[in-house]
A and B are shown apart, each in its own frame.
Chain A
Amino acid sequence: MTSTFKHRNKSLFLSTTLTLLILISPGCSKGPTPVAQATKDKILLMGNSGDPQSLDPHITAGYPEKKIHSGLFEGLVLMHPEDLSPIPGVAESWDVSEDGKTYTFHLRKEARWSNGAPLTAQDFLFSLERVLSPNISAPYAYTVFLLKNGQAYHNGTLTDFSKVGAKALDEHTLQLELENPTPYFLQMVSQHAWYPVHKATILKHGDPYAPNNPWVRPGNHVGNGPFALKEWRASDVIKIERNPHYWDKENVHLNEVHFFPMDPETEERAFRSNQLHYTYRVVEDKLRDLFAKEAPELVSTPSPIFFHFILNTQVPPLNDKRVRKALSLAINRKALTARITGPNDSPAYNFISPVVSNYTPAVSVKEDIQYAKALLAEAGYPNGEGFPQVELLYHTAEINRKLAQAIQEMWKKNLGINITLQNQEWKVVLANRAKKQFEILRNAWLPRYLDANASLALYTSDSTQNHTSWAHPGYDALLEQAAAANNPEERLSHLQAAEAILLEEVPIIPIYFINSNHFKHADIKGWYPNALDEHPYKFIYLENTPS
């Protein structure tokens, strides 16, 4: 028995040592860094925050999904990354009717799906019908409501899709008729809800409206973008590779793009150890240091991302607009962007970011502590006396905590009111938001197109994003008038009037506009900073750049 034990001890020792040696042995040789190798192989390595909800462009809403979809699919038009102007995608040209309500897209005959099948106007019709269908839970179906009768079809009040403003005049001509002349229509058409999906593939794998149709899996997936799905390992990596059937394949410089779902700290470490070319974001806390050091790897671009507070206008004392206004006027936004947020973020005195070039606000928030105090006194709370318990809710994130504390302090100092802070997990916040169980809620919004409508439409009484319980018939009417307006000046005046109502009624408090921040490796070329953070992969190429 003793000898057996001795023997076993020995083998245990040997096997463990061997395991460790096997583990360590590959470390002895040091080759090129993953980024250097990937640059050589023309593979772009990107951090991408989290796993996508799906690779079906019709049922997803998030930004990580968008980054992958834009490689796998292509809409009728693209936005040029330099100036965000519309450039031909699947459509090689388009005509717009005089009233701005009918767009005729001429699809390129050489357009193909990644399985080689031809891409026709019928494919777009199937896709538009699918995304608008009441049977599929498409979060961005509303972006297709621009089509004539689109909303009616989605609501189920119209069941005949042929009455929706989308027609295939022939195999390669698609005519879209809109409810209203829409100056931002071509921007919308480049969004992922408008991407075509391959009917035969989806039907082959099951119900086209089922949320878990397995057509999105590697091996099944078919798209029409510059890249095709190669591999998807959940929580690990998504790899897309050059699509040999893409119409413009000669101008695609990358062989593959790899997306890694990583949290910001992990992706920064991966970037710094040369494992990523590009990060999804930068931890806010580090921005000030990075700016001070003028870190060349940091790219920071003004964007329309809008940080704000949502007020529940049903609960007292926030049901009194004087109180809501006082809260807004007593925040020193400049102090927040000067000390807490990223140093390039800008204070928001209205709802539309300055990057929206076709809009100029008519009125803005004018911070005024005395006036705020007077308003509060008028509402029955002189110097904050008798002000009931109000809670500010935010989801767990360091930047949210710092901002909430600073604003809590400002309200205490300027108005004499005590606001309690409540920090909850993201899904709990979403559940409370849906049930309107909050008083003041931190929120941020990334408009997907550059137009005042992208932000203002959120607060109409029928918007699913309006969580404030605030409804204003005048506001709704102004947005409808703006949509129907025939000239830019008239449209602008309606939008300005609508924004003025929001500023007067204060269902939300604007705080600041956030820059989009990334770490970008010097090897990445053909990348242009732009407000929508749109970087079509076919413009990007990799070139070894000595550091």
Chain B
Amino acid sequence: MLSFIIKRILEAIPVLLIIITATFFMIRLAPGGPFDAERALTEEAMERLNAYYGLDKPLFEQYTQYLGNLFRGDLGPSLKYPGFTVSEIIFEKIPISMELGLYAFCLAMLFGVTAGVCASLRPNTWLDYSTMSFAMTGICLPSFVLGPLLLLVFALHFEWFNASGWMSGTDKILPTITLAVYLAATLARITRGSMLEVQSQDYMRTAKAKGLPGWRVHFIHGLRNALLPVVSISGPALAGLISGSFVVETVYHIPGLGRFFVQAAFNRDYSMILGTVLFFAVLIVMFNLLVDIVLAWLNPRIKITQST
């Protein structure tokens, strides 16, 4: 197991290097710079700023310098927030995005898997149709529509919640739901399909023939195997929920990293863009690794050493 983990981590290094390299050069291709503003600076002032941050050096030299600093664990200073470093902003914001992502993930798992199982137990009945219709609606409803809609009804009309912020416990309910709906709906569909597939397997027939109670057949024998595809997508999905909550964080004014991620691009805050991209890349690699370990634990037939 340990050698597997080490091997995967070593494999991740070139992946991360490619991501960093591509991001570094792509953002520098984008027109506009970090110091462009409505009130235009004089050429001399602009040159001074570029020289101060080393942006006047040849691009390749900047790249090697960035990698050197990165190797020493230095993500550099933020260009948009003078006086602050990229690392401290990331570490200040990430707990909030993690919290939101985890809540949404738990909620999506709970409702998505339950709905999928319920639908699969009574296929082609009203229960199945209604659950899958809800799931389809959830998939089709983007968060920039659902978020303001929930706010309009529950925050502005009923006044049950605040419309923005991330302070009290209640502030976390609407964003969690908004973020969870898409994944819950996807999981419901995957679980249903997977459960139906599993139910036709021989070992399920054997379990039934042995006279095991129905719930045991479905939930212990069936669900465990049916969950394999669910677990496979849960790693990238969790990373996606943590990193991709830009819309939800903006709609609800949540000071998480997702919002920073996109704002950094709009601000042309080069070091911040690179820092957040790298952070999310590491997160995705880590979660994928975690998923592989969980999959092996769920299904002993998958041998970790062989699966790679």
Contacts and interface: CB of A to CB of B under 8 A. Distances in A.
B161 A27 contact: yes
Given A51-B81, A234-B255, A275-B165, A26 B170 contact: yes
B204 interface: no
Contact of B255 (A210, A233, A426): A233
A427 B164 contact: no
Interface stretch (A14-22, A289-297, A342-350, A510-518): A14-22
Interface in A1-45: 2, 5-6, 9, 13, 16-17, 19-20, 22-27, 34
B37 A22 contact: no
A351 interface: no
B39 A262 contact: no
Interface in B18-46: 30-33, 35-42, 44-46
B107 interface: yes
A464 B35 CA distance: 14
A210 B83 CA distance: 10
Interface residues of B, number: 64
A237 B166 CA distance: 11
A216 B82 contact: yes
A518 to B, nearest CB: 17
Given A262-B164, A428-B32, A269 B37 contact: no
A213 interface: yes
B83 A16 contact: no
B266 A426 contact: yes
Contacts of B162: 34, 270, 273, 275
A85 B211 CA distance: 92
B163 A272 contact: yes
Contacts of A169: none
Contacts of A212: 52, 77, 82-83
With a 10 A CB-CB cut-off, give which of B161, B163, B259 has the most chain A CB atoms. B163
Contact of A235 (B109, B173, B259): B259
B48 A135 contact: yes
A251 interface: no
A107 interface: no
B233 interface: no
Interface string B138-171: 0000000000100100011001111111001110
A465 interface: yes
A5 to B, nearest CB: 6
A430 B36 contact: yes
A393 interface: no
Contact of B32 (A54, A233, A262, A431): A431
Contacts of A23: 103, 169, 172-173, 176
A488 interface: no
Contacts of B129: none
A470 interface: no
Contacts of A269: 148, 151, 155-156, 163-164
A427 B36 contact: yes
Q: Which of B33, B220, B253 has the most CB of A within 10 A?
A: B253
Contacts of B13: none
Contact of A27 (B106, B107, B173): B173
B263 interface: yes
A185 interface: no
B92 A234 contact: yes
A432 interface: yes
B251 A5 contact: no
A441 to B, nearest CB: 12
Contacts of B164: 260, 262, 266-267, 269-270, 273, 275
A283 to B, nearest CB: 13
Contact of A61 (B37, B156, B263): B37
A140 to B, nearest CB: 7
Nearest to A437: B31
Given A54-B82, A61-B38, A434-B36, A210 B156 contact: no
Nearest to B257: A235
Interface in A225-278: 233-237, 260, 262-263, 265-267, 269-270, 272-273, 275
A464 B92 contact: no
A26 B156 contact: no
Given A2-B220, A262-B253, A430-B32, A27 B160 contact: yes
A211 B52 CA distance: 8
B31 A431 contact: yes
A430 B220 CA distance: 61
B84 to A, nearest CB: 7
B145 to A, nearest CB: 13
Contacts of B161: 27, 273
A428 B110 CA distance: 44
A318 interface: no
A235 B83 contact: no
A425 B262 CA distance: 13
B83 A214 contact: yes
Contacts of A425: 32, 266
Interface in B244-292: 250-253, 255, 259-260, 263, 266-268
Nearest to B263: A235
A282 to B, nearest CB: 16
A198 to B, nearest CB: 15
Nearest to A54: B82
Given A213-B83, A263-B250, 4 more contacts: A20-B106, A26-B170, A137-B46, A430-B37
Interface of A: 2, 5-6, 9, 13, 16-17, 19-20, 22-27, 34, 51, 53-54, 56, 59, 61-62, 134-135, 137-140, 210-217, 233-237, 260, 262-263, 265-267, 269-270, 272-273, 275, 425-428, 430-434, 464-465, 467
* 10 closest A-B pairs by CB: A427-B32, A236-B255, A26-B169, A273-B163, A137-B45, A27-B170, A212-B82, A430-B36, A431-B32, A61-B39
Interface of B: 30-33, 35-42, 44-46, 48-49, 52-53, 77, 80-84, 89, 92-93, 103, 106-107, 109-110, 148, 151, 155-156, 159-165, 168-170, 172-173, 176, 219-220, 224, 250-253, 255, 259-260, 263, 266-268
20 contacts: A16-B109, A23-B172, A62-B37, A140-B39, A216-B82, A233-B92, A234-B92, A237-B255, A269-B156, A269-B164, A270-B163, A273-B161, A427-B30, A427-B33, A427-B36, A427-B267, A428-B30, A430-B40, A431-B33, A433-B40
